[in-house]
Structure 1
Amino acid sequence: MAEDSRPPGSQAVVRALRVLHCFRDHGPELGATDLGRLLDLRTSTAHRLARTLVAEGFLEQDGATSRYRLGAAVAELGQALYRHRGLYRVEPLMESLAEATGTSPGLAIRSGERAVVVAGEAVDPEAGIGVYIPLHASAMGKVLMAWDPGFDTSGLGELAALTENTITDPARLAEVLVRVRADGYATNDREITPYKRTVAVPLVDELGQVRMALALRADAGSLPPERFAELAEVAKEFAPAFQRLLLRPSV
């Protein structure tokens, strides 16, 4: 067996973080039994981890049901992300882009096998909390994958079918990402929901690395595929302004 190179105590940290991820993926309230089942832990271990997170403000426990939910510390970190990344600076740009295109703009960053929307209609600016979307079924996710030189679609594991249009074959997804790089933009043609389409372009930092994705989202009826290239060009025109506000270091 290979020697574990992680520092002492890191296993407990990883377990605690996985407890928090359970609330992202499996609902707003979970009991210790639920956490143990989801993480393959003894209920007593899950309870101990949850109680530690309660003590640090990352979880709260309902006194009546003993079930756990996310705590204020999570919202505080979300607010810190919103401030530290300067996302508040792009609100006027988002409004201008919405007016110019008749769509709902959004910004996303990579988080493991998901993209997290950090600005746009899916985000609560007061709480700084966004939503996670799957990389393989979203335009923003495809952008973040396509320009990651070390990315391998086989590392995504099983690709869930969210609609009949979702790409579930890793080989086909790899081909799509080649086309995304060639076109300079990605699309989501009713792959997460049958009622929405999205176009997304990359946002690049001064080192030439794609750090975020800028998307335009609308009802499928008002955004036919024939508009994809047109909207991508508008998003590309706005991209430098977003990059100046979000991705260049202060001087």
Structure 2
Amino acid sequence: MDKTDMQEEDTKHPMFVTALARGLEILKCFTADRQELGTTEIARETGLAQSTVWRLCYTLTTLGYLVPGRTPDRLRIGAGVLLLGHAAITHTGIAEFAQPLMKELADSFEVSVSLGERYRDGMVIVQRSEARGILSVNLHVGSSLDLANSSLGWAYLAAIGDEAREALMAKLRASAPDEWEAKSRDIAEAIRNYRRSGFVFNLGKSHRDINAIGVPVISADGKRVMALTCGGARSHMTRERLVSVLVPELQALAQRIAPLIPVDEPGGARRKR
């Protein structure tokens, strides 16, 4: 089971701390598009009682994880969360190691390059590099992309085991049943292409003006999967150019990054390669 899968029974375990989980759910409400929120909005987003939100926000503010916004009734992410996020993306050395390699690829071919890791139903960008002057989308380190509708997500889904994929797709289907027919077709097509050629396509499906490809980054023991994607404006980054030029470059980059993914030793210890 992927570490990001939390089963319902886990939340009922005597060791599970509900207050901590609720506090983390509050922090997750803040995104690049929702940088400041009021407690009423947080209560609506989380489904928690207003009084519970007030107490948790007071605690998070006291500890520096939330700070006042531009007006007294608003809150935003504080330095405490930023420090935790920095630690999360650099603790294995992958993001730091990958950055100059990704920048070289982005600048050489005038593309954007993203490295992502799965978290629940999305792929979180842990490193990103963009060439200057290219058509840009609002993505950055910390952005989360839909597993079922992104080249990062498709590359991840294509590379994990069949049993894990089926379980994850059942969750994705349950979370968006009205959209699942179209999304499942895209996933199936991506998996077929990966099995045939070792990469996935996203030709204008996530953003109508962007063409992209994705490849998985797989740990030496095969137990952990991250993903790389690169792309650019459709007028510049045609399907033919992606296949003939970018696919080999992105696959080579994945091979250089993969050894940095920690693997589990016998007995549960984790080591870096």
TM-score by length of 2: 0.77
Residue matched to 1:130: 142
**2:151 is the alignment partner of 1:139:** yes
Aligned counterpart for 1:172 among listed residues 185, 192, 199: 185
Do the aligned partners of residues 210 and 9 (structure 1) sit closer, same or farther apart at CA in structure 2, a change above 3 Å counting? closer
Q: Assess if the C-alpha contact under 8 Å between 1:158 and 1:168 holds in 2.
A: no
Long gaps (5+) in structure 1: 123-127, 162-166
In 1, are the aligned partners of 2:123 and 2:144 still within 8 Å (CA)?
yes
One-letter code aligned to 1:215: T
1:238 maps to which of 253, 258, 267:
253
Query: Which residue does 1:114 correspond to in 2?
Result: 122
CA contact (8 A) 1:203 1:212 kept: yes
Secondary structure of 2:31's aligned partner: helix
Is the 8 Å Cα contact of residues 27 and 77 (structure 2) preserved in structure 1? yes
Residues 53-76 of structure 1: CA deviation (Å, up to 9, x unaligned): 112221112484221111111110
- Contact in 1 for aligned 2:128/2:141 (Cα 8 Å): no
How far apart, CA to CA, are the structure 1 residues paired with 2:10 and 2:24?
A: 22
Seen in structure 2, the aligned counterparts of structure 1 residues 159 and 101 have a Cα distance that, compared at 3 Å, is farther
CA-to-partner distance for each residue in 1:178-235, whole Å, 9 max, x for gaps? 3143131112222222121211111111102352111112111111122332222221
How far did 1:96 drift?
Answer: 2.8
Distance 1:168 1:68, change over 3 A: farther
- What is the aligned partner in structure 1 of residue 171 from structure 2? 155
Q: Report the residue type matching 1:136 in the other structure.
A: A
Question: Given that residues 127 and 141 in structure 2 are in contact (C-alpha distance below 8 angstroms), is that contact kept between their aligned partners in structure 1?
Answer: no
Q: What pairs up with 1:42-57 in 2 under 5 angstroms? A: 42-57=49-64
Letter in 2 for 1:236: Q
Q: Percent identity?
A: 26
Partner of 1:125: none
Q: Which runs of 5+ in 2 are unaligned?
A: 1-8, 131-139, 264-270
Mapping 1:175-190, distance limit 5 Å = 175-182=188-195, 183-190=197-204
> Over the residues paired in the alignment, what is the CA RMSD in angstroms?
2.7
Q: Which amino acid is 1:73 matched to?
A: G
Q: How far apart are residue 19 of structure 1 and its match? A: 0.8
* Number of residue equivalences: 240
Q: Deviations over 1:25-60 (max 9, x none)?
A: 861111111111122222111111111111222111
Contact (CA 8 Å) 1:115, 1:132: kept in 2 or not?
A: yes
| Cα displacement string for residues 69-128 of structure 1 (whole angstroms, at most 9, x for unaligned residues) | 111111101221233121112222113322443322221110111111111137xxxxx9
Looking at structure 1, the residues matched to 118 and 44 of structure 2 have their Cα atoms a distance apart, in angstroms, of 27
Shift in alpha-carbon separation, 1:101–1:25, aligned structure 2, 3 A: closer
* Among candidates 88, 97, 103, match of residue 111 of structure 2: 103
Q: Which amino acid aligns with 2:176?
A: E
Counterpart Cα distance in 1 of 2:25 and 2:200: 31
- Does the 8 Å CA contact 2:114/2:129 hold for their aligned counterparts? yes
Output the amino acid matched with 2:61. Answer: V
Task: Give the Cα separation in 2 of the matches to 1:63 and 1:228.
Answer: 44
